[in-house]
Amino acid sequence: MVRSSTSRDRLHDLATNVIREELGLRATIGRVQLQLVPFSLIGRDITLDDPVYGRFATAEELSIQPSFRALLRGGIDIDTIQIRRADLRLVIRNGQVRNMPRAEGPPPSGGPPTLPFDAFHVFDSTLTVDAEPHASGQLRHVELHVTGIDDGIAVEAVSRDGWVRHRGGRDTLSLIDARAEIAEHEIRLPHLELETPHLHVAVDEAVLPMPFEDHGYTGRVALRYDLAQLERLPLPEDVTLPPIRGQVAVQAHLFTREDVQHAEGSVELRDAFIEQFGLGETLHVEFLADRNRVALRDGSYVTVPRDGGRINLAGGVELDPERGFPVELRADVEDVSFARLMLDLGVTENGIVEWFLAGSLVASGTLEPLML
């Protein structure tokens, strides 16, 4: 604890200067203390402002640990930053964070991304994201760790409470758990998980090339979505979806083979129903896709509700818009109840004859326009 007013003023000037020089932010600090173990400057009642975009953070406590090298030279820099009980604000414009801390002077040319410090830790804080006019959101009880690694930057973040507002409305965020590594030519995602009351997304062991290409993506993706939420999508005025209920679940493995991007996995509709048209209670599709074709693999099927039978599916869609997306589909029918099928399609509830269908159906044509 420093008692001399002159010493306190000196510490205050040291802290504000090093924050400006190392982070490019203007700091207002209420009180500054010197802590010996570990050696650090501790500021309380902090505000940090970006010179262009304004308020970046307010915090009850900010701790700066200088590097040993700077101390040997008789100076001070930022090696590690810790912020507790802060309100952080990020401004996103044109897909870029505009008010992130950055060192003064021109950015380095070429090479992997770097930090103006070794580590940045945030505890028990609130993060507000301003990406207007497209979206905005807030995460509460945030724990965030940003560290420098050999080939870039590592980020770990977790929050179990928040919200996001977008053109379709507002959603509650019940979980964000992310581990990412940002290198010069790729983004690695060891784990990313997002959960709302209607959506769950998990990504594991993924790699995204930088800049984004048409191939080079790897990893595992799982998604679960409540189909009733489709009515909230910002669709064109002339597009109206019928009421839909049920859930869709997607499992996919992304990989590249001979410079061609592939995805294989499954899509499953559970307890699904489309008003006016009818749809099987369960639709399960095993697929293999590349940039030219989506193929339905063995194990794809749809069931008719009320134990009305099963239809096995095979075929595929050519991803060729100039040819109207040619499609070929084969359906192998297994003891499908004609009466239950008519009931599901809304034709009649009073089938007086029970027929069971079996055999194969083949359809071919295009999706645009729909001509089968």
Q: Which letter does DSSP use for residue 242 in this model? A: P
90's tokens? 């990020």
Residue 52 phi/psi, 5-degree rounding, is -105, -45
Can you give the pLDDT of all 372 residues of the chain as single tens digits? 445 567 678 888 888 888 888 888 999 999 988 888 888 889 999 999 988 888 899 999 999 988 766 655 656 778 899 999 999 998 888 877 888 776 555 555 667 888 888 899 999 999 999 998 889 999 999 999 999 999 999 999 999 999 999 887 899 999 999 999 999 999 999 999 999 999 999 999 999 998 888 889 999 999 999 998 888 877 777 777 778 888 999 999 999 998 999 999 999 998 877 765 555 568 899 999 999 999 999 999 988 776 777 889 999 999 999 999 999 999 998 877 766 666 665 555 666 667 777 889 899 999 887 666
Phi/psi-derived region of residue 16, left when phi > 0, alpha when psi is between -120 and 50, beta in every other case: alpha
How far apart (Å, rounded) are the C-alpha atoms in residues 248 and 225? 5
Burial of 87 (0-12, 13-18, 19+ CB in 10 A): middle
Q: Spell out the domain ranges in the chain.
A: 1-198, 213-372
How far apart (Å, rounded) are the C-alpha atoms in residues 310 and 210? 44
